[in-house]
Amino acid sequence: MLHSMISTTLAAVSLRDLALVQAVHRHGSFNSAARAMHISPSGLSHQVQKVEQALGGPVFERGGRKIVPTAGGRRLLEQIDAVLAAAEHLQQVARAGSVAFGGELRLGVPASLGPYLLPHLIAPFPQHFAGARLSLSEGKPRGLLRRLHEGELDAVLAPPPATAPSGIASRPLFFEPWEIMLRADHPLAGKPTVALSQLDAGEATVMAEYHPDGEPAAGQVQDVSLESLAALVELRGGYALVPALARDRLASIPAVTLAKIRGPAPGREIALYWREATPWHDDLQAFAELLRQIARRRPGLRLLD
């Protein structure tokens, strides 16, 4: 029988033990992994040694400033990742039933999108998905997509990545144009529309999220929230490009003013991403359609095919 092929020591290894080994690999440090997994460093070290003994060899090289896997450890870690992913899928299938998303949708959203889109989702979500809970995580698009791939999230709202991740499905949702945010005393402040040609690109303050694969040719890149971006424009002058959904929130800040871009406006595309292996394809397609309905009612957004 299959279970007779598994040694007694390996059979004693739990999924939690494997998750601890995975955490050490991700963090590159026993101390950081211990904090993340809510276990003492000595307890974590003991559990990792238990797994190494069961597998018959060391998974990590020890003694350096950063914990790195051995050559054999890299192969073992690939299998550990596969085992944990399979366990997550098993749990999802077990949870899936009459309640959408198995009772909970773990959604990742960029910090520059969530606070401005999600308030419009609070009321209709329980109406469309009765009994399901919506759990939100904010972050940078690249990190959110990594967490989706690793099973920590069920779906992600984000712009298209430079390289399509394997095993990930998507549904295009909408195009969101940029608008121009100026300091209140800027010569162009108060105008309803401004052409980009009227502005000095060197005076731009740009969010790092807009340029995940390299810095723009001009302007200062800042890894900050939109509210902090407004504070920088107030401090430095110049201008910034901000997403249209944030207009109402940013327009309430007295020190800045907003204008639409005259002519074809640049912006970002937003899509919904999920793992191809998910048991909730139908639920996620329905969720994507709900998001499209919300976008259809928001001024300035354009639905994508």
- The CATH number given to whatever domain includes residue 56 is 1.10.10.10
Whether residues 103 and 70 fall in one domain: no
pTM above 0.85, yes or no: no
Q: Do residue 76 and residue 137 come from a single domain?
A: no
User: Could you tell me if 151 and 207 lie in one domain?
Assistant: yes
Amino acid identity, residue 96?
A
Q: Provide the domain limits for residue 210.
A: 98-305
Alpha carbons 157 and 295: distance in angstroms, whole number: 13
Assign 134 to helix, strand or coil: strand
CATH code, domain carrying 160: 3.40.190.290
The answer to whether residues 58 and 167 belong to one domain is: no
Q: Which of 37, 69, 94 is the last residue of a domain?
A: 94
Same domain, 103 and 170: yes
CA distance 230 to 246: 11
The domain total for the chain is 2
Q: What is the pLDDT of residue 2?
A: 47
The residue count of the chain comes to 305
Q: Which of 94, 126, 152 is the last residue of a domain?
A: 94
Interval 26-72: pLDDT, tens: 988 899 899 989 899 899 999 999 999 999 899 999 877 788 999 99
Proportion of the chain in helix, strand, coil states, percent, rounded to 5: 45, 25, 30
Strand pairing report for 155-158 and 267-275: antiparallel
Following DSSP, what letter does each residue of 220-256 receive, concatenated?
EEE---HHHHHHHHHHH-SEEEEEGGGHHHHHT-TTE
Q: Same domain for 119 and 57?
A: no
Whether 110 and 203 map to the same domain: the answer is: yes
d(CA 275, CA 156): 10
Quote the pLDDT of residue 238. Answer: 87
Which residues are bridge partners to 188 per DSSP? none
Q: What is the pLDDT of residue 95?
A: 63
Which residue, of 27, 60, 94, is where some domain finishes?
A: 94
Query: Consecutive 10-residue runs of the chain (305 residues): their mean pLDDT?
Result: 66 91 91 90 92 91 84 92 85 70 93 92 93 93 91 94 87 96 94 94 78 48 79 90 93 94 93 94 96 94 94
